[in-house]
């Protein structure tokens, strides 16, 4: 068994929180630049210029791209030949988030109870998805998720007869209805198949893919293109002020489903599509 | 670009048109979900509000903490519809004249704005770092227990906005989207 210290996981996650919130990944910057070059609307081009300037200001000063530094959504793929020593793994992750959000001057956006709504003050607990995988490494991915886009997300339990067309109508309809609320231009994560909660998790994982990389399956890549085309025909545009670029990309992930089911989830991500991955 | 200095009087507000670019200089107040709930609860009890909102502008924002050398951390707008159930009462009963946020508003808000002559401004969602540079001073003036959701008094210079809904009910989102909409693919 390879030993990994809990303190090392904490230290790495602390840095990942700050990196993710202050430095827009290069794939998202490229997507914004490409959208700027193709955008027909004057106000749309102006919006995209400001968003690129904003990313540069955040990067140079190491301040958050957006004040909604989100819930800390963490994926932890634990190699089955790894033993975590010197502490509890879940607590090590929360401690990393606690330190990162304090040291990075990030916003604390977690309430302990959804109805009584008292802020926990340190942005914990993180939302953590554990998976056990072969090997002797720990793979950590953080994707801080703001609420403006998360609130526009949805799940539909479609029927097998609805098929790809039903998926396209549901996803595009939901994104267009959201309009300016989730801060377009968006990255749209789509999870198809599995169970109700499985589809939602697939949609969230779809957001981790490099922006604009198509699904390797040709029929799913085609579906991604068709959904993107329908969304961008809406005219909603950057910030909802009118234009071609309502979404930068649509990412589809699928999973096996019940013979009676076609679950479909759409997880909407704003243009601050933040994600950082590290392997220990 | 229309230059506006606060306070925002009804006359100044009614002269604005949806889609206009505006630069605001002066004092504005922050307030979002939790502060709105408290303000409206204070109105229910017939109490004086902790901040006089007559002819003032509320910015829907929960800022990041400031890094040393900054007045405030990243400070872009939050989505406005969550304040729709509270905003008409602040407009009608407290004299609120302007709101800054992002996203569409409901019909009850638009009705109150038209009657009383209020304006809804859009700030650039997700441009919190750039917007923070236009905020020169920030202090908490009410509900400090709410942390980022406390009411802050902000001093802003040339704060860049677009008129989203004017006092006649014209909507910059509808106008922009209509111009670029194409028929959906079959």
Whether A54 and A134 have beta carbons less than 8 Å apart is answered as no
What is the band of A236 on the pLDDT scale with cuts at 50, 70, 90?
very high
pLDDT for B186 equals 76
Backbone dihedral region of B126: left (phi > 0), alpha (psi from -120 to 50 degrees) or beta? Answer: left
pLDDT tens per residue across span A7-61: 999 999 999 999 999 999 999 999 999 999 999 999 999 999 999 999 999 999 9
Longest dimension (CA), chain A: 59
Domain final position from A144, A171, A186: A144
Indicate if A101 and A162 belong to the same structural domain.
Answer: no
CA A58, CA A79: separation in Å to the nearest integer? Answer: 35
Longest dimension (CA), chain B: 57
CA–CA distance, A34 with A48 (Å, rounded to integer): 10
Cβ A237–B177 below 8 Å, yes or no? yes
* Contact call for B74 and A40, based on CB within 8 A: no
Asked whether residue B184 is domain-assigned, the answer is no
From A30's Cα to the closest Cα of chain B, the distance in A is: 17
Q: What is the mean pLDDT of residues A274-278?
A: 95
Please choose, from the candidates B171, B170, B175, B160, the residue with its C-alpha nearest in 3D space to the C-alpha of residue B2: B160
Q: Are residues A95 and A190 in the same domain?
A: no
Q: Are residues A228 and A115 in the same domain?
A: no
Q: Are B13 and B62 in contact (CB under 8 A)?
A: no
Whether residues A139 and A177 share a domain: the answer is no
* Tokens representing residue B122 in the block: 């859009």
Helices A42-61, A26-38: crossing angle, 10 deg rounding:
160
Q: For the segment B29-53, what is each residue's pLDDT rounded down to a tens digit?
A: 999 999 999 999 999 999 999 999 9
Structural tokens at position B63? 């800022």
Could you say which of A54, A69, A230 has the minimum Cβ distance to residue B127? A54
Cβ proximity of A218 and A174 under 8 Å: no
Q: What ipTM was reported for this prediction?
A: 0.94
Q: What is the distance between the alpha carbons of residues B169 and B149, in angstroms, rounded to a whole number?
A: 29
Length of chain B, please? Answer: 186
- Evaluate whether residue B186 is within a structural domain: no
Instruction: Express each pLDDT in B110-123 by its tens digit.
Output: 999 999 999 999 99
* Interchain contact A116–B (C-beta under 8 A): no
Sign of the alpha-carbon torsion through A10, A15, A21, A24: negative
- Nearest by CB to residue B185, choosing from A69, A226, A235, is A226
The confidence score (pLDDT) of residue B184 equals 83
Contact: A54, B130; criterion CB under 8 Å:
yes
- What is the Cα–Cα distance from B116 to B88, expressed in whole angstroms? 10
Residue A78 CA to its chain's centroid (Å):
21
Which residues neighbour B89 within 8 Å (Cβ) at sequence distance 6 or greater? B40, B43
Q: Give the global pTM.
A: 0.96
Quote the DSSP letter at residue B85. Answer: T
**Same domain? A10 vs A110:** yes
CA–CA gap between residue A14 and residue A104 (Å, rounded): 9
* Cα–Cα distance measured from residue A277 to residue A210, given in angstroms and rounded to the nearest whole number: 12
> Considering the domain boundaries, does residue B185 fall inside one?
no
Low-confidence spans in chain B with pLDDT less than 70: none
Rounded to a whole number of angstroms, the distance from the CA of B78 to the nearest CA of chain A is 7
pLDDT of residue B168: 97
Residue A210 has pLDDT above 90, yes or no: yes
A118 plus A169 within the same structural domain? no
Establish if A278 belongs to a structural domain. Answer: no
Which chain A residue has the Cα nearest residue B183? A233
Kindly state whether A160 is in contact with chain B, defined as any CB-CB distance less than 8 angstroms.
no
Residues A106 and A159 in one domain: no
B124:A50 CB<8 A? yes
Give yes or no: residues A94 and A227 share one domain.
no
Q: Is residue A110 pLDDT above 80, yes or no?
A: yes
Query: Nearest-CA neighbor of B107 among B125, B98, B120?
Result: B120
Closest CA to B152 of B58, B41, B38: B58
Give, for A226, the enclosing helix (H) or strand (E): helix A218-232
Please indicate, yes or no, if residue A38 is contained in any of the structural domains: no
Who among B78, B129, B173 is closest to A241 (CB)? Answer: B173
- DSSP letter at A233 equals T
Domain assignment present for residue B58? The answer is yes
| A54 within some domain | no
* Parent domain of A181: 147-273
- The number of folded domains in chain A is 2
| A13 and A72 co-located in one domain | yes
Per-residue pLDDT tens digits for A144-173: 999 999 999 999 999 999 999 999 999 999
Q: Which residues contact A222 (CB under 8 A, 6 or more apart)?
A: none
Alpha helices in B134-184 (DSSP H): 172-180
Residues A140 and A152 in one domain: no
Distance from C-alpha of A243 to C-alpha of B177, rounded to nearest angstrom: 7
pLDDT band at A218 (very low <50, low <70, confident <90, very high): very high
The residue among B62, B74, B179 with the most chain A CBs within 10 A of its CB, best to mutate, is B74
Angle at A184 between CA A97 and CA A264, to 5 degrees: 75
> CA–CA separation, A94 vs A15, rounded Å?
13
Of A144, A164, A199, the one marking the end of a domain is A144
CATH of the domain at B65: 3.20.130.10
Per the structure, the complete domain to which residue B57 belongs is given by 2-179
Strand partners, B98: B57, B119
Percent residues over pLDDT 90 in chain A: 100
For A152-188, give the DSSP string. T-EEEEE-GGGHHHHHHHHHHHHHHHHTTTT-SSEEE
pLDDT digits (tens, 9 = 90+) for A73-103: 999 999 999 999 999 999 999 999 999 999 9
Q: Do A107 and B64 touch (CB under 8 A)?
A: yes
Average pLDDT of chain A, as a whole number: 97
Report the number of distinct structural domains present in chain B. 1
- In this prediction, residues A124-137 reach a mean pLDDT of 98
Pick the last residue of a domain from A101, A129, A144. Answer: A144
Vertex B85, ends B84 and B88: CA angle to 5°? 75
């Amino acid at each position: 068994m390879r030993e990994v210290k809990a303190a090392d996981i904490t230290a790495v996650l602390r840095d990942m929180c700050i990196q993710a919130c202050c430095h827009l990944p290069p794939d998202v910057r490229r997507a914004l630049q490409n959208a700027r070059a193709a955008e027909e609307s004057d106000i749309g081009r102006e919006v995209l210029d400001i968003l690129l300037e904003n990313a540069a200001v955040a990067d140079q000063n190491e301040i958050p791209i957006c004040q909604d530094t989100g819930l800390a959504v963490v994926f932890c793929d634990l190699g089955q030949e790894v033993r975590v020593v010197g502490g509890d793994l879940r607590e090590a992750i929360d401690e990393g988030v606690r330190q990162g959000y304090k040291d990075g001057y990030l916003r604390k956006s977690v309430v302990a109870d959804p109805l009584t709504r008292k802020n926990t003050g340190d942005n914990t607990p993180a939302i953590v998805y554990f998976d056990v995988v072969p090997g002797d490494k720990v793979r950590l991915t953080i994707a801080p998720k703001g609420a403006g886009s998360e609130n526009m997300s949805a799940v539909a339990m479609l029927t097998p007869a609805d098929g790809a067309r039903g998926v396209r109508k549901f996803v595009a309809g939901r994104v267009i209805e959201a309009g300016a609320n989730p801060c377009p231009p968006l990255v749209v994560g789509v999870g198809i198949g599995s169970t109700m909660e499985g589809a939602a998790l697939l949609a969230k994982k779809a957001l981790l893919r490099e922006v604009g990389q198509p699904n390797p399956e040709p029929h799913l890549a085609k579906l991604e293109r068709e959904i993107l085309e329908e969304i961008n025909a809406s005219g909603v545009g950057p910030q909802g002020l009118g234009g071609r670029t309502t979404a930068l990309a649509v990412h589809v992930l699928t999973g096996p489903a019940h013979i009676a089911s076609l679950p479909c989830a759409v997880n909407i991500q704003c243009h601050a599509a933040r994600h950082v991955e590290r392997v220990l | 670009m229309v230059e506006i200095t606060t306070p925002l009087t009804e006359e100044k507000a009614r002269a604005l048109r949806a889609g206009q670019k505006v630069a605001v200089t002066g004092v504005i107040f922050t307030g979002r979900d939790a502060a709105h709930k408290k303000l409206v609860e204070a109105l229910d009890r017939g109490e004086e509000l902790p901040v006089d909102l007559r002819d003032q502008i509320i910015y829907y924002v929960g800022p990041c903490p400031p890094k040393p050398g900054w007045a405030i951390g990243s400070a872009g707008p939050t989505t406005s519809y969550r304040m729709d159930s509270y905003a008409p009462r602040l407009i009608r009963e407290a004299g609120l004249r302007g709101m800054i946020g992002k996203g569409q508003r409901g019909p009850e808000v638009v009705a109150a704005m038209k009657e009383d002559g209020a304006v809804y401004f859009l700030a650039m969602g997700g441009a919190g770092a750039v917007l923070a540079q236009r905020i020169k001073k920030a202090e908490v003036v009410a509900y400090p227990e709410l942390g980022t959701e406390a009411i802050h008094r902000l001093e802003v210079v040339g704060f860049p906005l677009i008129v989203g809904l004017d006092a006649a009910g014209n909507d910059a989102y509808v106008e922009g989207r209509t111009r670029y909409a194409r028929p959906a693919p079959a």
